[in-house]
Amino acid sequence: MSRFFVATRYLIIIPIIGLGLAAAVFFIFGGFGLLRLLIEGLGEYFGILHPEPHPEELPFMIEVVEFVHTFLIGTVLYITAIGFYQLFIREIKFPGWLKIDSTEELETSLIGVTVVVLAVNFLAVVFTGGNIDLLSQGAGIALPIAALGVFLGLRSWGARQDTERHKMRHKEVSALDSTENRQLPDDH
């Protein structure tokens, strides 16, 4: 039965491939879209291009921020794919910040990128202006960020508590072992 469960861990390859391909799509289409935007923007600036204005066209800065958002979503997908691979298949030699040894590390990486995605979303809303209630929008983004911060803080605190308890137990066991191994002096 254990062989079966060991073999089933390779089923994770299916979502890993899907996540990797999805990340690649976000990076490729986002990259080409950003390049197109930059070329059009530079062409307009230097008077080489004269595109027709569209009523739904966003300001240049907001369009760039939207591409940052696209790349961040691709990054979340990529980190998830490599995290699953490292957890279930095999370790990959990556820089320390991308090395994932536990589901907690994967969650922490994803939470960090998610917070940035939410902040970029809010930034886009602020830049577009319009008749949007920024207080409600900001609170709607700030509350999940605060909840994620509390979650990470409590988990970190719990891990420190576990480490301290483990150290205390180790000291107690070591003290008992040294007491039991001491030889009493002979009374002769």
The pLDDT, as a whole number, for residue 71 is 93
Give the residue from 66, 83, 82, 86 showing the smallest Cα distance to 26: 66
**pLDDT for residue 19 is more than 80:** yes
What tokens appear for 131 in the block? 């008749």
The pLDDT, as a whole number, for residue 132 is 79
The SS3 call for residue 73 is helix
Neighbours of 158 (CB within 10 A): 10
* Structural Rg of the chain based on CA atoms: 26
**Chain centroid, CA 140 distance in Å:** 20
**pLDDT for residue 32 is more than 90:** yes
pTM score, whole prediction: 0.70
Alpha carbons 104 and 107: distance in angstroms, whole number: 5
